[in-house]
Structure 1
Amino acid sequence: MATQELDPITLQVISGALDTIAEEMGHILYRMSFSSIIRESQDLGAGLFDTDFNTLCESESTPLHIGSLPGYLRGIQDSLQGGTWNEGDVVIHNHPYYGASHSPDIAIVIPCFHGGELVGFAANTAHHLDIGAATPGLIIDIPDVYAEGMLFAGIKFYEKGVRNEALWKFLGNNSRASQQLKSDIEAQIASARLGVRRFHELIERYGKDTILSATQQLMDYTERILRQKIEKIPDGEYRAEGFLDDDGKNRGIRLPVKVCVRIRGDAIEIDLTGSSAQVETGFNVPFEGSTKVACFCAIRSLLLDAETSEIQVPSNEGSFRPIQVTAPKGSI
């Protein structure tokens, strides 16, 4: 597709429309949900994504849900049931070693087609109270990820519009809070379906090429603004160190977390080398769904704070591009 340069007014209108879609997706999700952690705490994230899994827009929700969904999408791509997307598919995914943050954060992803062509995805994540783990709620002193509850990796909850009734029954039979779990998942599906519908309406109004060009320009704009902010920081290495009290099992053994932030011109590297080795309990943090996202969130909060910034910067993939995260395998 040849990228067309859009005029500033059209670009701003489309940017506002994308932001509104993400916010509406988030509102639908928390207003329909049964559990308080979603309905009241808004422990969720929602947005639209292109076919390369770039974030086009995202809801203003819990920070660690913001930015995690591209990792989910990449994990789904590696594990997708049947290997192909079809109209009417709804995918459920929460596997921490396929891009998810942690297993209670379940994602619902729906592909968006226009004229038979895949043009993007509407997706959301939400924290669920009980997914059949060894004990209710969050659990730390466990031997492996399987004790955290049900794991889904690229599973089609709906295939070509037809619900997997066996999976629906399985969900209800493997949670201590089955009504809340199933109702919250239905809210997630409604939210993602709304996102697909709104994305389709936007393309119908402006044309596919215009929308895809706009999203590229908006991502480039956000990246450019963040790089300008980074350039104002003197080049160098900035180090800090903290500790976790213990791993929840071996009491009194502190776990170091070390970070070196390297500024090189208009780019940042966050290097966690030297942090504790991985532990035998649930303190280990998945790289794609949590470690990278926490780093992205910290930089964005410091340099692109909406309350203090003199300009409004769209929340999209451009805010991730200048940031590189290094975390050695085998570390916490």
Structure 2
Amino acid sequence: MRPEVDALSLAVIRGRLEQIADEMDTVFERMAFSPVISDAWDRADGIYSAVDGSMIVQGVRGLPIFVGTMQYTVASVLAAIKDPKPGDMYLVNDPFAGGTHIMDTKMVRPFYYGGKLFAMLANTGHWTDLGGRVPGGFAAEASDCYQEGLRIPPVRLFTDEALNSDILAILQTNSRLPDDVLGDVQAQATALRAGDSRLTELLDEYGADLVSAVIDTLRERSSIQMRSYIKDIPDGTYQFTEDMDNDGIVDKALSIAVELTVSGEEMTVDFSKSSPPCEGPMNSVYAATVSSAIVAIKHVFPDVPINSGIFEPLTFVIPETVFLNAKVPRPVAGCAAETSQRIITAVMGALAGALPDRVPAGSSATSNNLSIGGVDEEGDPFVMYIFLGGGYGGHKAGDGLSNGCSLMSIGLIQSVETLEQRYPILVRQYSLRENSFGEGEFRGGLGVHFEFEYTGDRGRASLLGDQSKTAPIGRAGGGPGAASAPWFRLRGEKVILPMISKGENIPLTRGDLICMLTPGGGGYGNPSARSDKALRADVESGYVRAASSAL
């Protein structure tokens, strides 16, 4: 019989569970070798059901896109493993086993208490390189998943806390950065050990029965709260379509068409009218598509606690006939950082038809994934990977945020000091992008101007981005923000890539420049209603330059 859960125990144990996940995040980022984890926070940790992998809690600073994907990852591990033991840890990065793209590497640890399997601890970190046709894995012209890097099914990496050196050797041999691989493996394992220790302390203090009852109650309450929000939406079907630039191979738009059907306390999210699977790497896997839709809904209903209860009122229709439910061997490198964000804006666009006062104008929805590989002055290989923020849309209560993080993220570019210390680059400009916001009573936020010089002898750059042909939209009469506009200066000549936002293995020599101009947010409301005070502030802050060029 489930014990009674009083309000004090519910609050305290909930806080302790969240703190455990947050501490795992902190341990992971402080130990990780990859700057994209340690400095840019491209990681997440959480606690999951040992029965079906469903989410119990995830750290509040974890990457939002992993909110849904990690429970699918844990479920795939539970289905694959045989005879788990305390101290075992499993590694998996297979996008088609509940993942995202290959670089997002998951580790899962069974948690035992009193000799019984109680829960699963898991984390995800973006490893900088796991092989593939381009350094960093963002192969804009990959035509199958085998070109994107080493794909790992659920494998037992640690047995009774002992690292399997054979598997580690395979991982390191297939990476351009073998030392970083070892460092990130140890960081992820240590974070899970920290979670194991803290969860044991919690159960010692409150007992497994009461903690289990609190977990069940939290799931039920999240479901009830989500249902109450859905019930407030008028019944009906709400549609919206987002167009992505292209897939990196065929210069043709990819449509994310979503239909939200609300009936009472339940909502169906239907993507069946979207574009078919594509040739290039902008396909998404099922887990990432679901997770992206959840992130969009959470943007509108942010106070619903994150656990598996938020999924219960929702039904997803994502047939294999669309590029949002890709199967082997489709390439998926752009899944987590690009397609996911346009799924978010598509779902938010549909929600705007139902809740116009709660949804902001369009936001920057591209990470502009840029990776550079080469050999440094000491003759060692390096791989630099960065992603950039942009402007958020204006909203009913005010202007959009400038240089906001990716919609599916919490991180931004690594610090300039870290980049210049580790890689052969010299940053020439890192500023807000003038005139990039959409006009409105409440303007959009500004994008970013990030420009740097390559100082190495030779290198190769790859770019996997989007939103260079479709700018963030305005709402309620507001204007669009500026589109993404990356360019290169190679051997003295300015170059815009044929696909604009995508290209791979671009040869670099000393003195070449790379400039990333990220989108600004759309405006909200009639621009003529903007106050004179706000207009003066925009000019005084340098956000506006008369008769300026976006470039």
The answer to whether the aligner puts 1:250 opposite 2:250 as a matched pair is yes
CA distance in 2 between partners of 1:84 and 1:293 (Å): 29
CA distance in 1 between partners of 2:161 and 2:32 (Å): 22
Correspondence 1:185-196 to 2 at 5 A: 185-196=185-196
CA distance in 2 between partners of 1:146 and 1:29 (Å): 28
Answer yes or no: is the 8 Å Cα contact 2:50–2:110 preserved in 1.
no
Alignment match, 1:100: 99
Larger Cα Rg: Structure 1 or Structure 2? 2
Answer yes or no: is the 8 Å Cα contact 1:103–1:148 preserved in 2.
yes
Alignment match, 1:234: 234
List runs of 5+ in structure 1 lacking aligned partners: 307-312
Q: Which has the higher contact order (CA 8 A, sep 6+)?
A: 1
Answer yes or no: is the 8 Å Cα contact 1:237–1:260 preserved in 2.
yes
Alignment match, 1:278: 277
For 2:84, the aligned partner's letter is: W
CA distance in 1 between partners of 2:213 and 2:232 (Å): 29
Query: Normalized per residue, which structure has more helix?
Result: 1
Alignment match, 1:63: 64
Correspondence 1:1-332 to 2 at 5 A: 2-52=1-51, 53-60=53-60, 61-80=62-81, 83-137=82-136, 138-251=138-251, 253-288=252-287, 290-303=288-301, 305-306=302-303, 313-332=304-323
Alignment match, 1:309: none
CA distance in 1 between partners of 2:142 and 2:78 (Å): 29
TM-score, normalized by length of structure 2? 0.57
Write out per-residue CA displacement over residues 191-243 of structure 1, whole angstroms, 9 at most, x where no aligned residue.
Answer: 11111111111111111111111100011111111111111110100000111
Write out per-residue CA displacement over residues 33-85 of structure 1, whole angstroms, 9 at most, x where no aligned residue.
Answer: 122211122111111112121211101222212221111011222333xx221
Q: Tell me the C-alpha RMSD between the 2 structures.
A: 1.3
CA distance in 2 between partners of 1:282 and 1:77 (Å): 28
For 2:250, the aligned partner's letter is: N
Answer yes or no: is the 8 Å Cα contact 1:296–1:323 preserved in 2.
no
For 1:110, the aligned partner's letter is: R
CA distance in 1 between partners of 2:94 and 2:146 (Å): 10
CA distance in 1 between partners of 2:286 and 2:277 (Å): 12
Answer yes or no: is the 8 Å Cα contact 1:59–1:66 preserved in 2.
no
CA distance in 1 between partners of 2:58 and 2:88 (Å): 21
User: SS of the residue aligned with 2:305?
Assistant: coil
List runs of 5+ in structure 2 lacking aligned partners: 324-551
CA distance in 2 between partners of 1:197 and 1:167 (Å): 26
1:181 shift after superposition: 2.1
User: SS of the residue aligned with 1:258?
Assistant: strand
Answer yes or no: is the 8 Å Cα contact 1:15–1:314 preserved in 2.
no
TM-score, normalized by length of structure 1? 0.93
Answer yes or no: is the 8 Å Cα contact 2:107–2:124 preserved in 1.
yes
Answer yes or no: is the 8 Å Cα contact 2:266–2:313 preserved in 1.
yes
CA distance in 2 between partners of 1:77 and 1:146 (Å): 25
Write out per-residue CA displacement over residues 151-200 of structure 1, whole angstroms, 9 at most, x where no aligned residue.
Answer: 21110001233221111122221111121222112111111111111111
More deviation in 71-80 or 238-247? 71-80
Alignment match, 1:310: none
Tell me the number of residue pairs that the alignment of Structure 1 and Structure 2 aligns.
Answer: 320
CA distance in 2 between partners of 1:231 and 1:245 (Å): 35
Answer yes or no: is the 8 Å Cα contact 2:34–2:128 preserved in 1.
yes
1:104 shift after superposition: 0.8
User: SS of the residue aligned with 2:44?
Assistant: strand
1:32 shift after superposition: 1.2
